[in-house]
Amino acid sequence: MLNPRRIDQAATRGPAGLSRRSFVTTTVGGAVGLALLPGVGLAQAPRPGSKPTEQPLAFVTIAKDGTTTILCNRMDMGQGVETGLAMICAEELEADWSKVRTGFGDQKAAYVDPLFGIHLTGGSNSVKNSYQQYRELGARTKAMLVAAAAESWGVPAASLKAENGVISGSGKSAGYGEFFDAAMKGTVPEAVTLKDPKSFKLIGKPTGLVVGKAKSTGTQAYGMDVQLPGMAVAVIQRPPVFNGKVAKLDSTEALKVKGVKAVLPVALDRGGQGVAVVASGYWAAKKGRDALKVDWDLGGVAKPDTAALTKQYLALAKTPGTPAPKPEFQADASAWAKAPRKITADFVFPYLNHAQMEPLACTVDLKADRCDFYYAAQMPGIDAMNLAKTVGLKPEQVQVNVQMAGGGFGRRATPATEWPREAAAVAVALAQAGKPMPVKVIWSREDDVKAGYYRPMTVHRAEIGFDASGKVAGWQHRIVSQSILKGSPLEGFGYQKGVDGTTTEGMREPYEFPMNLSVHHPDVNVPVLWWRSVGSTHTAYVMETLVDEIAFATKQDPVAYRLKLMEGNAKADRHRAALQAAVDKSGYGKRKLKPGQAWGVAVHESFESVVAYVVVASMKGKGKDRQPVLQEVHAGVHCNLCINPKAVETQVQGAAIMALATTMPTHRVTFKDGVVEQNNFYDMAMPRMPDAPKVMTVSIVPSNDPPKGMGEPGLPPLAPALANAVARLTGKRQRELPFSFA
C-alpha cells in the first residue's frame, strides 16, 4: 500500500492549485530550470532568508498537537539522511523529538542541493551540503514561532523561551502548534543566531531512525509498494544485447494469459526497443512476457565480451593514455626504472551490478494535462524535465513524488532518467492505444542484472620504483575504464581535458608519491554508472595493497610505514587520526593473534571522510577452493562533526559487508557475445550472515568541524585491508577482484 502520509504530502505540494506552500515552491519551468544547470543559480541573488532553500514553510509543518513534520531535500535509501537532516533542523528548532516525523521534498526549487543548485542525492553530500541550511531552517522557524507568540500575547519576543516544542514566558505557555499557522504568515528573518555546539541536545547523540519502527515491522512503504486506483502493472522484455531492436513480434500467446491487458512496443534508454506487457498484476505480466515470441534485430550492435575486453584493456594499460589534469598526477616518474627495487602490477576489476535489495519500480499516472510519477528519485529535478519531454507535457505539469528506497548505491541516479522514462513510455503507449490507466513498471532482479547499468570494468597498471627504506623514486600509473560522465548531463561536473574525474578519484592521497597518471576511456556497448563510492572502489584497492606490498618488501610494519609516509603532510592529519583509532581499538601490535590468523590494514579518504580498517582474517578450504574468513573488523572514522553516531556506525557496518561481497567468488558481471551471463544472486555471490565478522567495531574521531558525508566512505578500504591480510596468510597478492586462489 502507498503510505498515506506520502499521499498527503504530495497533495500539499502539487502544482495544481494554490496552497500555503505555493509562494516558495517555484515551478520546474522557472527557477528550477536555471538551478539545474551547472554553475547557474537563480536569476538574481536574493537577500538572505528569501531563497527557496531557506523557506521554513517548504520544509516544516507543525500540527495543533505539536506533531512536527520535517521534509528531507534528498531521497533516503537506507543511509538515514531523512533522520539526520531532521535532527539538525530539530536541534535549532528546539522541537520535541518524540513528535518529529519525516517526509520528502520533490522537484521544486526549495529542495535543490544548496551548494550545487541541482536536485541530487549522491556523493555523500546530503548532510555535508545541507548542515548549515537545516540549522538555519530550524532557527528561522523557531524565531517566527516566538514572534507570533509575542504578538499574540502582547509581550516582547525577548521575554519568551522556546524549548522542547513549547513557548513560555511572561506567565504564559503554549505548544508550537498553537502558533504555527500565524508564524508562517510572518516575515522570514534574514539572519538568525545559531546555537553553540556545546549546547546541542540531539546532534552527536546516537539516535534511531524516525522510520526505524516502520522498517523493522514491515509497514514502511517503498517505491515498489505504490498503489493507485485502477492501476495496472507492466514488465518489459528487453533485447539480449544493449541497443537491440524488435524485428518481429508475436504476442498471440501472451494476450491469452489471464489478466494481460496489452502488449506494446516501447522505446528504451540508449536507443533500443523493447516490448511491454501490461496486466492486472505482476505475476500475470510476467507470465505474459514469458509467452512472448520476439525476434531481435542485433545487426550493427556491438557485442562486448569480457575475455576480449580484458585482453584489450591490459594491452591499453601498457601504453600512455590521456594525462590526468591535476598537477599531483603529472610528476616525472621516469626514475622508477632505475630504482633498486621495483613492482610492476596489473589489476583487473569487473563490471558490477548494484544489487540493491528493492528492484526498480516506477508508477505513472498520465492524464491529458498532468502526469504524476511515484518512485525513489535521486535526481527529481533533472528527471522531471526529461519525463516532461517523454510524456509530451510542460515541466510544470509533471510532479515527481519521491518515495523511500530499499537501497540504491547509485543505481537510481541515471542522468538520462533511464528507468522512469521507460515507465513513462509505457504510459504513453497505453494512452495511444486507447487504454489510458495508471501503470507501475517493475523490474525483476533478473531484469536489472541483465539489462541495467553497471560499475565500469577497470584495469590499472602500476610501475613503481623504490629503495630499501620504502622511499618511492617514481610511480608510473595508467587506468583503463569507461567514462561515467562523458556525454551525460553532468559531464561539466568532472570530465576535464579528456579525463573523467570519477575514474581517478582516490589515487595517490594521502601519500605524496611522485606519480605520473594517465587514463584511457574506451567506448564499449555497456551502460555504466556510479557504484557506491565510485572511483574509490578500485583506486583505494590499488593504492592500499601496493603501499602494503612496499612495506612488506622493505620489512616495515604496515601501520608504521603508512604513518611515516604521512609525516609532514597536513592533509593527512585526519587519516592519521582515523588509522590510530582503528589500531587502538583493535589491539594491533599489543596482542598476539591465534595461529592461522593475520592482520590487514588500509586507510582511504572518499567524499571528504576518512575510514581506516584494521582487520583480522584467516583462511578456510583447500587449493582453488580456499577462501578468506573475515574474523574481526575495526573501523576508525573521521567525518568531522558526527551528527548521528548510530547512523555512522550502521553505514560503516553495511559498507564493510558490501565491500566483502566484491572479494567473493563469482561476484561480478561478465559478458559473452554481448549478453550478460549472470541472472540473479544465485550466480553472483553475495555475503550471507555466516560471512559477517564475529567482531565489528566503529570508532569515531571527535571533531567540531563541519560534517562530511558517510554514505560511501566505509566501503573502499575494506577489500584492500582483507587482501593485505590474505597476502600474509598465503604469500600471494590478489591483483584481481573477486579473489582467486586457482
Contact residues for 433 (Cβ-Cβ < 8 A; gap 6+): 262, 264
Q: Are 336 and 465 in contact (CB under 8 A)?
A: yes
Does the residue 739 lie in any domain? no
User: How far is residue 586 CA from its own chain's centroid?
Assistant: 29
Does the residue 434 lie in any domain? yes
CA distance 604 to 612: 6
Higher pLDDT, 410 or 35: 410
Amino acid at 695: V
In the predicted model, what is the mean pLDDT of residues 551-575?
97
In the predicted model, what is the mean pLDDT of residues 238-250?
98
Dihedral sign, Cα of residue 724, residue 729, residue 731, residue 734: negative
Does the residue 650 lie in any domain? yes
Amino acid at 111: Y
* pLDDT at residue 46, as a whole number: 79
In the predicted model, what is the mean pLDDT of residues 228-235?
98
Q: Are residues 179 and 270 in the same domain?
A: no
Does the residue 328 lie in any domain? yes
Share of the chain above pLDDT 90, in %: 92
In 180-336, at which residue ranges do the beta strands (DSSP E only) sit? Answer: 232-237, 245-250, 260-267, 273-279, 293-297, 322-323
Host domain of residue 58: 4-217
When divided into structural domains, the chain yields a total of 3
* pLDDT at residue 145, as a whole number: 98
* pLDDT at residue 270, as a whole number: 87
Q: Are residues 613 and 693 in the same domain?
A: yes
In the predicted model, what is the mean pLDDT of residues 270-291?
97
Q: Are residues 470 and 367 in the same domain?
A: no
Does the residue 11 lie in any domain? yes
According to DSSP, the residues that pair with 628 across neighbouring strands are 619
C-alpha cell belonging to residue 617: 582474517
In the predicted model, what is the mean pLDDT of residues 475-494?
94
* pLDDT at residue 44, as a whole number: 61
Q: Which stretch of DSSP H or E encloses residue 6?
A: helix 4-13
According to DSSP, the residues that pair with 611 across neighbouring strands are 604, 637
Amino acid at 528: V
Domain boundary among 191, 217, 243: 217
CA distance 424 to 418: 10
Q: Are residues 719 and 611 in the same domain?
A: yes
Does the residue 182 lie in any domain? yes
Q: Are residues 506 and 600 in the same domain?
A: yes
Q: What is the pLDDT of residues 382-410, one digit of tens each?
A: 999 999 999 999 999 999 999 999 999 99
Taking all residues of the chain, what is their mean pLDDT, rounded to a whole number? Answer: 93
Whether the pLDDT of residue 2 is over 60: the answer is: no
Give the DSSP letter string of 702-726: P--SPP---SSTTSTTHHHHHHHHH
Q: What is the pLDDT of residues 627-643, one digit of tens each?
A: 999 999 999 999 999 99
Which parts of 154-273 fold into alpha helices (H)? 180-183, 212-217, 252-256
Q: Are residues 230 and 265 in the same domain?
A: yes
Whether the pLDDT of residue 595 is over 50: the answer is: yes
Share of the chain above pLDDT 70, in %: 94
In the predicted model, what is the mean pLDDT of residues 350-366?
97
* Ranges 16-30, 42-56, 700-714, 717-731: which has the least confidence: 16-30
Q: Are residues 106 and 143 in the same domain?
A: yes
Residue 507: which CATH number? 3.30.365.10
Torsion, Cα 76 215 227 439, to 10 degrees, reads 50
Does the residue 395 lie in any domain? yes
Q: Are residues 413 and 336 in the same domain?
A: no
Domain boundary among 200, 217, 234: 217
Q: Which of 3, 184, 200 is nearest to 91 (CA)?
A: 200
Per-residue pLDDT band for 21 (boundaries 50, 70, 90) equals very low
pTM of whole model > 0.85? yes
In the predicted model, what is the mean pLDDT of residues 102-107?
97
Q: Are residues 97 and 232 in the same domain?
A: no
Orientation angle between helical segments 718-730 and 645-661, nearest 10 degrees: 50
Q: Are residues 124 and 229 in the same domain?
A: no
List the strands of the sheet with 68-72, edge to edge. 60-62, 68-72, 100-104
Whether the pLDDT of residue 24 is over 70: the answer is: no
What Å distances lie between residue 284 and 15, 230, 235, CA to CA? 35, 16, 10
Per-residue pLDDT band for 305 (boundaries 50, 70, 90) equals very high
Dihedral sign, Cα of residue 52, residue 376, residue 668, residue 676: negative
Higher pLDDT, 467 or 15: 467
Per-residue pLDDT band for 326 (boundaries 50, 70, 90) equals very high
Whether the pLDDT of residue 7 is over 70: the answer is: no
C-alpha cell belonging to residue 418: 533511464
385: left (phi over 0), alpha (psi -120 to 50) or beta: alpha
Q: Are residues 527 and 549 in the same domain?
A: yes
CA distance 739 to 716: 16
510 prior amide bond cis, ω within 30? yes
Q: Which of 441, 241, 453, 422 is nearest to 354 (CA)?
A: 453
Q: Are residues 650 and 529 in the same domain?
A: yes
Whether the pLDDT of residue 18 is over 90: the answer is: no
Give the DSSP letter string of 7-55: HHHHHHH-SSS--TTTTT---IIIIIHHHTSTT---SS-PPTT-SGGG-
Does the residue 160 lie in any domain? yes
Q: What is the pLDDT of residues 524-549, one digit of tens each?
A: 999 999 999 999 999 999 999 999 99
Q: What is the pLDDT of residues 566-582, one digit of tens each?
A: 999 999 999 999 999 99
CA distance 568 to 549: 22
Q: What is the pLDDT of residues 417-471, one digit of tens each?
A: 999 999 999 999 999 999 999 999 999 999 999 999 999 999 999 999 999 999 9
